[in-house]
Amino acid sequence: MQFNNAMFKVLQKETVTPQVDSIIVDAPYIARHAEAGNFVVLRLNERGERIPLTIAESDGEKGTITLLFQKIGKTTEQMGTLKKGDAIRDIAGPLGHATPIKRYGHCVLVGGGIGSATLFPILKALKRKRNRVTVVLGARSKELIVWEKNFREHANDLLLVTDDGSSGRKGIVTIPLKEVLETAKVKIVIAVGPVRMMQAVSDLTKPFGVRTLVSLNPVMVEGTGMCGACRVHVGGRTKFACIEGPEFDGHEVDFHELANRQGFYREEEAAAMKAYKKKECKGNCRK
């Protein structure tokens, strides 16, 4: 695992959607060892917070990794201002267990929002094992679908759904997923996205007896399991997503507890951000 005092240079920056950017970073060690499903924890500067991000792509020969991020908090908003030539203070990784890749047969990948980025390296890895892969991507609207062109290039079938019907069909990801499960011999489903979406996918696949993996995204602080912030209950046992995940059996995850803990931290984060902005603005900023 690479985690030292080196600065990680930004080689390329792109806008993927109005809320999502991607950066290509020079990180040779991480690039050489990264596998589908791995993630990193980064810190922009000495006083910055640590945040986990999925390795959306890696190139061992070039020594680069690609990170996608949604600009919804202080750190990711700061990342949105990065440009080619800038540097990131620390990147630790690759972290987490890699996705179990083998020749399954027919696989279905289900992604919601920014979670879709996690699925892209998994898709490529499954295709290298000669699997048939159907990808179902969901978003609120067309402009929020992540990497549609990339997925369409590699998947056998790409099914799009949006809340407003602006791309693909109108609805939620479980609608086309149910149709695929009813008409094909699906061997494994891998879902990444909002907690309730992954729960709905797991509830749907259980009666079909289809193995289902979900990539959990609880709050992580340092990525080694020491802080315990990323604990989840799986099969009645406490697990730490950063070192035992991030992927777990969706049929054994306690989604109710996970959603409650996520909600608690979001409320705390929102309160902290409000206080921070109030301090920075000194009463002169628009609410």
pLDDT at residue 128, rounded to an integer: 97
The predicted structure's pLDDT at residue 178: 97
- CA angle, corner 28, sides to 133 and 222, nearest 5? 80
Query: 71 phi and psi, to 5 degrees?
Result: -85, 85
Q: Cα–Cα distance between 45 and 201 in angstroms, integer?
A: 38
Closest CA to 120 of 198, 68, 42, 57: 57
What's residue 286's pLDDT? 41
Q: What is the dihedral of CA 93, 144, 179, 181, to 10 degrees?
A: 0
Q: pTM score, two decimals?
A: 0.85
| pLDDT exceeds 80 at position 173 | yes
Residue 175 clears pLDDT 50, i.e. is over it: yes
Q: What is the pLDDT of residues 212-241, one digit of tens each?
A: 999 987 777 666 667 777 788 899 898 888
Among the residue ranges 10-19, 58-67, 148-157, the one predicted with the least confidence is 10-19
Give the model confidence (pLDDT) of 95-113 as tens digits: 999 999 999 999 999 999 8
Report yes or no: 217 and 258 within 8 Å, Cβ to Cβ.
no
Considering the chain, tell me which residue range(s) the CATH 2.40.30.10 domain(s) occupy. 8-95
Tell me: pLDDT of 35 over 90. yes
Tokens of residue 181, six digits? 């499960």
Give the CA angle between residues 181, 39, 128 to the nearest 5°.
50
Give the pLDDT of residue 280.
43
* CATH number belonging to the domain at 106-259, selected among 3.40.50.80, 3.30.450.30, 3.30.360.10, 3.20.20.70: 3.40.50.80
Mean pLDDT of 55-78: 92
What kind of architecture, by CATH, is found in domain 8-95?
Beta Barrel (2.40)
Distant-in-sequence, close-in-space partners of 135: CB < 8 Å, separation ≥ 6:
108, 109, 110, 111, 119, 123, 151, 155, 157, 158, 159
Radius of gyration of the chain (CA): 19
116-130, 171-185, 224-238, range with the lowest pLDDT: 224-238
